[in-house]
Amino acid sequence: MEPQDTENSAEAHSANVKKRPEKHEEADKKHTTRVLTTPLIALIFVAIVIILFNQFQIASVAAMVSGTSSGKRLGSGDKALSDIDITELKSTGHTVAAVFPVENIKTQEDAVAIMFPTGTPDYGEELGVSFDDPIGSLDKLSKMYRGLKAEVERNNPEGWNRFMNLASKPVGISCEYCCGVGAVGIQKDGSSACGCQHNPALLTIALYLSAYTDYSDGEILREVMKWKTLFFPKNMIELGMTVAGGDTSALEKLPGMVGGC
């Protein structure tokens, strides 16, 4: 081969090598463009709407609670709970009547003041939860149940049996307002009867307090009802007012559910 032909071939090869990165750059640009597709943008928009809606729900209830606190704040703990016979409780309504002073409920504001919790419970620091952060607490509690269940079953059979005895009765330790599972939220083996967040979150509260505190069954149920009111404000306040014989016509302003199923 002539030297000139060799040089021409080398130059052509060099030119081809230099052109390849440009093709890769064009492909990268096209790939980047395809990342934000219409379905993905729609999903991002829906997620933003859900977050904003949940924040609106929380703000609505918080405003109502702050309104009641300017007057007399009725304590949810002003009721003896140690003598409650859980075998007599046949529904969530029975439990509400047993653990809250429903005789003091005359208006919607009374029901909110008595049933809707604020602040941090005495076990809140240990679990990393607060009534003032319902969505964050719901997320933590729901993810905690499987691990806590395995731990208590293995290391604290007495606490596990106590929990099972309580949660297997129709006392309202369940997500009945979002998924329709009824007043019992566990399977026979203690697993959650529903795959939503609310159900395992409520089970976590009941299990932790059964296994690691000296709370009575009545006190455990009261704590579960507080969290259930936090997660389902409208349904639970309506139930409280119904049990008390109050007027429920103004309840449309309350949010139905905090968090998603």
List, for residues 122-137, the tens digit of each pLDDT value: 999 999 999 999 999 9
> Can you read off the two tokens belonging to residue 247?
């007027």
Rounded average pLDDT over 179-193: 93
User: What is the average per-residue pLDDT within 97-112?
Assistant: 93
What SS3 class is residue 184?
strand
Which pLDDT score, from 0 to 100, does residue 144 have?
A: 98
- Averaged pLDDT score across all residues of the chain: 79
CA distance 248 to 233: 13
CA–CA dist 109, 36 (Å, integer): 47
Residue 243 has pLDDT above 50, yes or no: yes
Dist CA 151 CA 47 (whole Å): 34
Contacts of 167 (CB under 8 A, 6+ apart): 173, 184, 185, 186, 190, 203, 206, 207
- For the chain, the helix, strand and coil percentages under 3-state DSSP, each to the nearest 5: 65, 0, 30
Q: Give 132's DSSP letter.
A: T
Q: Report how far apart, in Å, the C-alpha atoms of 138 and of each of 105, 142, 169, 233, 258 are.
A: 27, 6, 23, 14, 9
Q: Which long-range contacts (CB under 8 A, 24 or more apart) does 77-82 make?
A: 77/222, 81/216, 81/218, 81/219, 81/221, 81/222, 82/216, 82/218, 82/219
In this model, does residue 249 exceed pLDDT 90? no
- pLDDT tens-digit profile of 142-162? 999 999 999 999 999 999 999
Amino acid 178: pLDDT: 84
Pick 228 or 54 by higher pLDDT. Answer: 228
Are the C-beta atoms of 163 and 211 separated by less than 8 Å?
yes
Name the percent of the chain lying above pLDDT 90.
59
pTM: 0.70
Q: Assign residue 169 a region: left if phi > 0, alpha if psi is -120 to 50, beta otherwise? A: beta
**pLDDT of 251 over the 60 cut:** no
- Res 31 pLDDT > 60: no
Q: For residue 180, what pLDDT band results from cuts at 50, 70 and 90?
A: confident
* 247 and 241 Cβ atoms separated by less than 8 Å: yes
The per-residue pLDDT for range 203-233, each reduced to its tens digit, is: 999 999 999 999 999 999 999 999 999 999 9
